[in-house]
Structure 1
């Protein structure tokens, strides 16, 4: 008797599965916070060069007469093409002649400027501190911010490969508990990192464990659930990730200092470690890790996108059960690509339309992730599932690693990264045609079961055709 048949006779969805879900869902929520944490801990606030006559506390009011801060700023910082103070340069000497221009603006290229050799002044109205303000990751060093984000994704890539193999060797629960402890330690230590290099190393280590916590929990929940309830259970688990996004928006709003926020989302994993005995990535991270692209209120966007994804993931159960796995995934991935590509060419002034299109894209990419999880669980036999999930995580982390790095292409063309984000899911949607349909079929335990499932699927189709003919 196959394990799933035995599970079905024993009840399939009882107290054990419910208790397992109670412990798994909070873990998923906090892991989602870690994956998207740098939306807030690495946010780039407004900034300008430090100016001696304006920002030096030892300079008295008599030194500059009765000049206001705005006037001192005008003679000290050149204006960019949008008539806003430059972020990375200042005048070599105060330009006093600018006080007598009566609203006209001279050619700034004719005036001598220099980089911000004395540092920067940051706007702390949204965040009291971030890793950007901590280590001045702006101007000539702005690319280091993307490197920090990519290292977390690279850690997920490496962790999915290594820990996937170890899970098959030593058991999923053991490796899961080790990764819970690893994420608790690395995340907590990152909150006290003295240098950016150490911070990046700890984020890499956190990524190694975060991916395994998601995959092993998902496998444990799936394998202990009968086929009739798998779509519902996997959808519920996916919704927990969306709830985590909402929770992160609220936590970031309360804790504006990056070290405090990092600590708040890391300490709970010590609790999860003690209680762990029941316990189309490029566009996804491209949108979720660039919230500032859609407007200034990233706190609200984080919560709205979380509400949206949990709603769409819940509704995805209906087409999965009625239309099938393949058409549902194809429709959702096409919608992701189309919404991003259309949004790429919408003017910046049309913020409402841009946010609406981004909401469609993020909702569809979240729902397609749930559909992919359901389909993958029904395609892969239990004997190979851990290895296959590890390989799948390896490939998906490659995409997640590339997602923030693609933003460096804006120096060549501002819309180029978003064209890539939109093209990838459309291509991926076409590849879904190569996969078999698994709706209503039991989950396979062995490779032989996969072969039998395909023969069984053909027989079912023939039987359905025969019944239709005889009724007619």
Structure 2
């Protein structure tokens, strides 16, 4: 409560907080686009093998100059099981006899065909260029697209651990500015990458910044606002992610060249990194790290921006120290994190929460990172998905209000798995139904994530809430890495990754029932509160029964 007094003197929701939230909203909208870039920059266009009769304009003979394109394609490319031209094989020699057959397609032996040894020809009706067309990431190399996404998410996991530690040690603002600049440089240089390996490396470096850009913005917002106003900044932060999804869909629809699209979402980060230097470091972090003079200056600056000129005389170092003495003592006497390992019930909670976080993150990232697998109009999907996640967050709160935390999460996770599994086995011709199920699945996954964030806070004791939240965020990063990594299994079966996306949340939905219900329950403050929670709950129930019997 001590810092709340200081913040009340400086202004709890004034001009400074409004400008800060507006800046982070814009920054998160731009930064979130970088997570989903491969949906468009790595889109796989229609393709077939390069063949001399069709693509070498100097070739002639066998009446190839007077035959139609369809006829030349028929004698050059075999048909697949759906009677469509093969994407990854061609005839070793033109099969002229096929022109004399009327709707009959004899079996062609493997020896009559060969891989695309001379390269591919790509359909440019949707995209003028992608990294797929630049480095021929098709057929045997198709899984390389998922490798790019996996490396980006792996960078996010590693960057969250490294920069998260640096943020706690050297401050939120400086690390935030550096991560904005690092992402801007890495993704701008990725446009000019001469090889696929260098491109992947630069995307890894860009990914290492994204986690801190989002988390530090949320931390700075919450540490500069009063408890009664925190929900405004947090809600707008989550909404900015949905706006970022919709913005990327619109930009990709207008810009079909991957170089230009990459540059369009990267250049604003340079401007944002310069503007972020005007941010104010968290006074709460400064004070709790014994930098009282700097913390006092930060509070005075915020008071001046909020129009409270007289607060400068009140906000002195002695006033700050007197109000924060209890927090300073608690920071010095904080129990060791290793005590968590000696608390079996708390360890069980952390493990269960980690698996539930995975169950919500894997299908969510699997859906938003693989739009092309769901239908042809990926631009529309991107915009719709952003709108659905925007709405579903509020649906989760309404659900939890009436049914509690456990039932809400379990129901949402079960629906995610059901929608994905059913969608997996629907034929691609049923585009409308597939789009509806994918949209419902994403909405349920987003709602499950929102419900989880509330349940998680209510299960972790206050003294370890920040540390254990970091551990749980690591599970979320692992889920983000696992989602694109599972797509590499498509070489074995096109349905296998999606089956795993569907089964995983259903299993994790059952794990939710290993956690206690926290609706209308007080927050645990210490490890002892968690370890004795069952006994207290049992005692409360017995008292309720005795009360009912007495009343009867």
Check 1:372–1:278 CA distance in 2 against 1; reply closer, same or farther (3 A cut). farther
Other structure's SS at 1:163 match: helix
| Shift, 1:443, TM fit | 8.5
Structure-2 residue corresponding to 1:137: 137
8 Å contact from structure 2 (residues 406, 512) kept in 1: yes
Gap change, CA 1:282 and 1:257, over 3 Å in 2: same
Match of 2:495 in 1: 415
Q: Of residues 462, 481, 492 in structure 2, which corresponds to 1:401?
A: 481
Q: How does 1:39-438 map to 2 (within 5 A)?
A: 39-59=39-59, 64-109=64-109, 112-276=112-276, 277-278=278-279, 280-320=360-400, 324-376=404-456, 387-433=467-513
Q: Distance in 2 between matches of 1:453 and 1:228?
A: 30
The offset of 1:259, in angstroms, is: 1.1
CA contact 2:419–2:441 (8 Å) conserved in 1: yes
Rounded Cα–Cα distance in structure 1 between residues aligned with 2:423 and 2:63: 51
Closer, same or farther in 2 for the Cα pair 1:346/1:63, shift >3 Å? closer
Shift of 1:230: 3.8
In 2, distance between residues paired with 1:166 and 1:453? 35
**Superposed displacement of residue 393, structure 1:** 3.1
Cα 1:387–1:205, aligned 2, differ >3 Å: closer, same or farther?
A: farther
C-alpha distance in structure 2 between counterparts of 1:322 and 1:20, whole Å:
34
Cα deviation for residue 226 of structure 1 reads 3.7
Which runs of 5 or more structure 2 residues have no equivalent in the other structure?
A: 281-359
Deviation, 1:384, is: 5.5
Measured against aligned partners, the alpha-carbon deviations of 1:107-153 in whole angstroms (never above 9, x if no partner) come to 12266122111111000000000110000011122222221111101
**Which range is displaced more, 232-241 or 72-81?**
232-241
Whether the 8 Å contact between 2:24 and 2:217 is mirrored in structure 1 is: yes
Q: Report the secondary structure of 1:265's partner residue.
A: helix
Q: Distance in 2 between matches of 1:327 and 1:226?
A: 31
What CA distance in whole angstroms lies between the structure 2 residues aligned with 1:421 and 1:368? 14
Q: List alignment gaps of at least 5 residues for structure 1.
A: none
Native 8 Å contact 1:164 1:386 kept in 2: no
How many Å separate the matches in 1 of 2:378 and 2:165? 38
Deviation at 1:278, TM superposition (A): 4.0
C-alpha distance in 2 between matches for 1:192 and 1:73 = 35
Deviations 1:290-323 (CA, angstroms, capped at 9, x unpaired): 2122211111111111111112223434345565
CA distance in 2, matches of 1:127, 1:28: 26
> What secondary structure is seen at the aligned counterpart in 1 of 2:205?
helix
Q: 1:453 to 1:182 in 2, by over 3 A?
A: farther
Q: Tell me the distance in 2 between the aligned counterparts of 1:186 and 1:155.
A: 12
Deviations 1:228-261, CA, capped at 9 Å, x for gaps: 4444532322121111111010110111111111
Measure the CA separation in 2 of the matches of 1:74 and 1:196: 33
Larger Rg: 2
Cα gap change, 1:71 to 1:344, in 2 (>3 Å): closer
Aligned partner of 1:36 in structure 2 is 36
Name the residue aligned to 2:291: none
Of the structure 1 ranges 1-10 and 246-255, higher mean CA displacement relative to structure 2 is found in 1-10
Deviation, 1:203, is 0.5
After TM superposition, the score normalised by the length of structure 2 is: 0.76
Identify the residue that residue 21 of structure 2 maps to in structure 1. 21
Q: Is the 8 A contact 2:393 2:447 kept in 1?
A: yes
C-alpha distance in 1 between matches for 2:140 and 2:170: 46
State whether residues 249 and 300 of structure 1, in contact with CA within 8 Å, keep that contact through their aligned partners in structure 2.
Answer: yes
User: Following the alignment from structure 1 to structure 2, what is the Cα–Cα distance between the partners of residues 196 and 230?
Assistant: 43
1:453 Cα deviation from its structure 2 partner:
13
By how many angstroms is 1:37 displaced? 0.7
Decide whether aligned partners of structure 1 residues 368 and 229 sit closer, same or farther in structure 2, where only a CA change above 3 A counts: farther
TM-score (norm. length: structure 1): 0.88
Q: Which residue is equivalent to 2:296? A: none
Count of residues paired in the alignment: 467
- Counterpart Cα distance in 2 of 1:131 and 1:29: 24
Question: Per the alignment, in what secondary structure is the counterpart of residue 187 of structure 1?
Answer: helix
